[in-house]
């Protein structure tokens, strides 16, 4: 691979390929370099090229995108996006709650649906092929895929019984079942369509909510209950938290009206959700529903949301200073650092130091990422990040290599 990518360390070596962590010197981002170990093997070469083809389809936002490819007689390799997070096996060891398990399963099903629509079956389902990041599952290895209706499986880490008929989506879901059962132990039997899987999850969630409702009624009897007004005020937030509502559905139902924005608890909760949204057009539409009085009261928060939704009218030094000075909490500082990286905003050393101080001199990945972001842009004004480094962390090791 060309000099653009600097070797950091080897993550894995299998009988088929070698996986390295590399630094993209052009962007400052960490990437994955995957190399075929035996390019002379026609079958392995075919599977490797097919993996490149599948990744090039860019069929899901949760699947790594291709960055670079090199294929010649003796070298077959490609660079792809790196997802920072534990494998599914490591994540399950932390005993995550029900709702997070459901989110992981649904995001995994969405990716498989998209892959099936592209005409491929995943086949090689295992926890090592899934990274959990920001409560989403990310499929990262497509070397074992086969075309829909194929008759032969060439690469798989598990023993698969041969069959006379061509392989279908039903077969892929049967192979997926043991992995899904690790995520959601209630899956006692396999399902033959993703639609069935989703229905099962929704029914399970409904049962979970019924138990919660019964408990709430009992608690209401014991402590005398709460006012109907409070219950109504929190209905929207409860429905949103339980994924019965989304920003899209609330907008379609015209919930974002003047009366809605009069409630401080709604304003504080949904401004935070708008900051986390990855849909700039949706955010801009919802911003238009916020009354001037609310926009004035939460001026700094609104300004930050506007930056994140690609509205740059107020993007000046004075506005940046006001927002930075307003931030006191670590979560707010993380959001702002991410916004700055996404929108090419270069903070002064004083502004960096203020944001960094919100983390209480603890190791923070966002601080190291922002410093590397500035360095990759040849920005010399970088605050001291030594108090926030952890020598065991991968990002710290990458930072050391740039010094």
Per-residue tens of pLDDT for the chain, all 403 residues: 678 899 999 999 988 899 999 999 988 889 999 999 999 999 999 999 999 999 999 888 889 999 999 988 789 999 999 998 999 999 999 988 888 888 899 889 989 999 999 999 999 999 999 999 888 899 999 999 999 999 888 877 776 766 667 899 988 998 998 998 898 886 767 777 777 677 667 655 444 443 333 333 333 333 343 333 334 445 788 888 888 888 888 888 888 888 888 888 888 888 888 877 766 677 888 888 889 888 888 876 787 777 666 554 445 666 677 778 777 778 778 877 877 776 678 899 999 999 999 888 776 778 888 888 888 777 889 999 988 888 887 778 778 877 7
371 backbone dihedrals φ, ψ, rounded to 5°: -60, -40
Query: Among 81, 110, 137, where does a domain finish?
Result: 81
Exposed, middle or buried by CB within 10 Å (0-12, 13-18, 19+), for 215? exposed
* Other CB atoms within 10 Å distance of the CB of residue 141: 21
- Which residue, among 323, 322, 353, 354, has the nearest Cα to 336 in the 3D structure? 323
Q: Report the predicted TM-score, pTM, of the whole model to 2 decimal places.
A: 0.54
43 and 135 share one domain: no
Quick one: pLDDT at residue 221? 33
Q: What is the pLDDT of residue 23?
A: 93
- Two tokens, residue 135: 């409560």
CA-closest candidate to residue 3, choices 19, 21, 26: 26
Contact 183, 88 (CB under 8 A): yes
126, 195: one domain: yes
Check whether residue 58 and residue 151 sit in a common domain: no
pLDDT for the residue numbered 210: 37
Q: Which CATH number is 49's domain given?
A: 3.30.200.20
**Gyration radius of the chain's alpha carbons:** 24
Say if residue 350 is in the same domain as residue 399.
Answer: yes
pLDDT of residue 224: 40
DSSP letter assigned to residue 94: T
25 occurs within a structural domain: yes
CA distances to 329, 333, 364, 382, 388 from 360, rounded to whole Å, are: 10, 12, 10, 18, 9
Cα 276 to Cα 158: distance, rounded to the nearest angstrom: 38
Residue 234 pLDDT: 58
Do residues 56 and 96 both lie within one domain? no
Length of the chain: 403
| 208 falls within a domain | no
Please, what is the Cα angle at 110 between 109 and 115, to 5 degrees? 95
> How far is it, in rounded angstroms, from Cα 354 to Cα 280?
27
Domain contains 114: yes
Number of domains in the chain: 4
Q: Does 306 reside within a domain?
A: no
Cα gap 356→340, rounded to integer Å? 14
The first and second tokens of residue 199, run together, are 């229905």
Q: What is the spatial distance between Cα 82 and Cα 315, in angstroms, rounded to a whole number?
A: 30
120 in a structural domain: yes
Burial of 397 (0-12, 13-18, 19+ CB in 10 A): middle
User: Does 210 fall in a domain?
Assistant: no
Q: Which of 183, 213, 208, 193 is nearest to 88 (CA)?
A: 183
- Kindly state the DSSP code that residue 157 receives in the 8-state scheme: S
Lookup: tokens for 15: 């009988």
| Burial class for 108, CB neighbours closer than 10 Å (0-12, 13-18, 19+) | buried
- Helix spans in 136-289 (H): 169-183, 194-223, 228-241, 247-252, 258-261, 264-276, 280-287
276 and 363 co-located in one domain: no
Domain membership flag for residue 143: yes
373's tokens: 């972001």
Residue 233 tokens read as: 């005020």
Whether residue 135 sits in one domain with residue 76? no
74 and 178 co-located in one domain: no
- Predicted local distance difference test score (pLDDT) of residue 388: 84
Closest CA to 371 of 394, 393, 398: 398
Beta carbons of 88 and 135 less than 8 angstroms apart: no
CA 46 to chain CA mean position, Å: 30
Q: Are residues 56 and 93 in the same domain?
A: no
Beta-carbon contacts of residue 294 (< 8 Å; ≥ 6 apart): 261, 267
Asked if 283 and 356 sit in the same domain, the reply is: no
Indicate whether 94 belongs to any domain.
Answer: yes
Residue 338, pLDDT score: 75
**Tokens (6 digits) for 245:** 């509502």
Q: Give 256-260 contacts, CB < 8 A, sequence gap 24+.
A: 256/286, 256/289, 256/290, 257/289, 258/291, 260/236
Residue 13 sits in which domain range?
A: 5-81
Specify whether 110 is located in the same domain as 195: yes
Query: What pLDDT sits at residue 231?
Result: 40
pLDDT of residue 323: 73
Q: What is the CATH number of the domain that holds 156?
A: 1.10.510.10
Q: In this structure, are residues 2 and 33 in contact, taking their beta carbons and an 8 Å threshold?
A: no
Among the candidates 146, 171, 203, a domain finishes at 203
- Tell me the longest C-alpha to C-alpha distance in the chain: 77
End-to-end CA distance of the chain: 23
Say yes or no: 65 and 110 in one domain: no
């Amino acid at each position: 691979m060309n000099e653009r990518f600097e070797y950091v360390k080897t993550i894995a070596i299998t009988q088929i390929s070698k996986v390295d962590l590399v630094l993209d010197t052009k962007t400052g981002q960490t990437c994955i370099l995957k190399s075929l170990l035996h390019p002379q093997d026609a079958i392995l070469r075919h599977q490797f090229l097919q993996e490149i083809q599948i990744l090039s389809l860019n069929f899901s936002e949760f699947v790594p995108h291709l960055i670079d490819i090199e294929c010649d007689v003796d070298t077959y390799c490609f660079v792809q996006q790196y997802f920072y997070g534990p494998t599914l096996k490591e994540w399950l060891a932390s005993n995550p709650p029900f709702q997070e398990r459901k989110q992981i399963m649904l995001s995994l099903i969405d990716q498989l649906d998209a892959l099936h629509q592209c005409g491929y079956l995943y086949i090689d389902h295992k926890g090592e092929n899934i990274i959990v990041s920001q409560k989403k599952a990310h499929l990262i290895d497509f070397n074992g895929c086969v075309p829909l209706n194929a008759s032969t499986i060439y690469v798989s880490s598990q023993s698969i019984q041969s069959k006379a008929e061509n392989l279908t989506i039903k077969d892929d879901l049967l192979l997926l079942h043991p992995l899904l059962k690790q995520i959601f132990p209630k899956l006692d039997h396999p399902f033959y369509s993703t639609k069935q899987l989703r229905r099962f999850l929704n029914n399970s969630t409904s049962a979970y909510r019924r138990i919660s409702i019964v408990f709430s009624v009992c608690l209401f009897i014991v402590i005398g209950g709460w006012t109907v007004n409070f219950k109504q005020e929190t209905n929207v937030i409860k429905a949103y938290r339980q994924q019965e509502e989304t920003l899209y559905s609330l907008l379609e139902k015209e919930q974002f009206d003047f009366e809605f924005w009069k409630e401080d608890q709604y304003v504080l909760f949904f401004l935070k959700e708008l900051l986390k949204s990855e849909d700039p057009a949706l955010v801009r539409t919802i911003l238009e529903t916020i009354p001037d009085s609310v926009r004035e009261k939460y001026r700094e928060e609104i300004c930050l949301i506007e930056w994140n939704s690609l509205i740059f009218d107020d993007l000046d030094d004075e506005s940046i200073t006001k927002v930075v000075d307003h931030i006191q909490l670590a979560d707010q500082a993380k959001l702002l650092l991410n916004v700055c990286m996404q929108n090419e905003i270069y903070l002064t050393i004083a502004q960096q130091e203020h944001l960094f101080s919100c983390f209480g001199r603890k190791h923070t990945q966002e601080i190291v990422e922002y410093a590397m972001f500035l360095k990759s842009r040849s920005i010399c004004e970088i605050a001291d990040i030594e108090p926030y480094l952890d020598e065991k962390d991968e990002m710290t090791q990458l930072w050391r290599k740039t010094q």
